[in-house]
Amino acid sequence: MSLAAATGARASLRSSSAAAAASPSRPLIALPRHRRPHGSLAVALAAARRRRLQVRAARTESTGAAVGFRAPQFELPEPLTGKLWTLDEFEGNPALLVMFVCNHCPFVKHLKKDIAKLTSFYMQKGLAAVAISSNSIVTHPQDGPEYIAEEAKLFKYTFPYLYDESQEVAKAFGAVCTPEFYLFKKDGRRPFELFYHGQFDDSRPSNNVPVTGRDLSRAIDCALSGQKLAFVQKPSVGCSIKWHP
C-alpha cells in the first residue's frame, strides 16, 4: 500500500469514529418487532384479573333464615307510584317472593331482565312478588328512590319495587346480599312461612353459565303446586347490602 493510500485510510477511519461518537447512544439490543404486542396483552390480562378479583371480593352469600320462618311485617313506599305497601297486601296469594335487590350491583344487573320475565310468568299463576332496595344512599346514591323509580319503569317490573330507607326491613328478614330471594307460602289463613331461601340459578357475572332461573322457578313450581322441595337449596350470591355508615 502506498503512503498516500495509508494516510487516506487512517483519515477515513478517524472520520467514521468521530461520527459514531457524535451520534446519540442507542440500546444494544432492541425488542423484536413481533414481540411488542405482548406488552398490551399483558396489560389486558392484568386488568381482567383485577376485574375478576373485584367481583370475587364483593361476594356475599345469603345465610340465616330457616325454612318455616314467618314473613316479617313491613310498610314501605314504592318510589314509582308513591304507594305504601304492606305484607297484608299479599294475603290473598298462595305464595310471595320477596327479593332484596339494588340498582348498581353487578350480580343484580346480571339477572334483571330474567327476574322480570320469571316473576311476570309466575304472577299470572298466582305468585305475588315484591322487590326491596335497602342500600344506603349515603354511600351509594345511585340506589336512591328516584333511580329505583327509573329502574322499575325501564325494566317494566310487574311487581312493586320498594325503598327501605331505614334498613329495618332488611334487618328483620336477615338479608345480607343483593340479590337475595325469600319465597314464602301460606296454607289458608296461616301466615306466610319461608319455603325457599336460595339462588336464582348457577349463573354469575363472570362464570359464562347461561341464566335460566332454574332453581327459583323449581321452588316456585313446588310452592304453587303444594309439593315439597325436591332439591338442595344453594345460597344466593351477590354484593353485600350497603349499611349506613
What confidence tens digit (pLDDT) does each residue in 212-224 have? 999 999 999 999 9
Return left, alpha or beta for 156; rule: phi > 0 is left, psi -120 to 50 is alpha, else beta. left
pLDDT tier at 235, thresholds 50, 70, 90: very high
**What is the reported pLDDT for 34?**
43
What confidence tens digit (pLDDT) does each residue in 77-127 have? 999 999 999 999 999 999 999 999 999 999 999 999 999 999 999 999 999
Higher pLDDT residue, 90 or 34? 90
pTM: 0.76
* Cβ neighbours of residue 23 closer than 8 Å, sequence gap 6 or more: none
pLDDT, mean of residues 157-174: 97
Residue 172 has pLDDT above 70, yes or no: yes
Distance CA 167, CA 192 (A): 21
Ramachandran angles phi, psi of 183, nearest 5°: -105, 115
> Are the C-beta atoms of residues 77 and 111 closer than 8 Å to each other?
no
Distance CA 16, CA 33 (A): 29
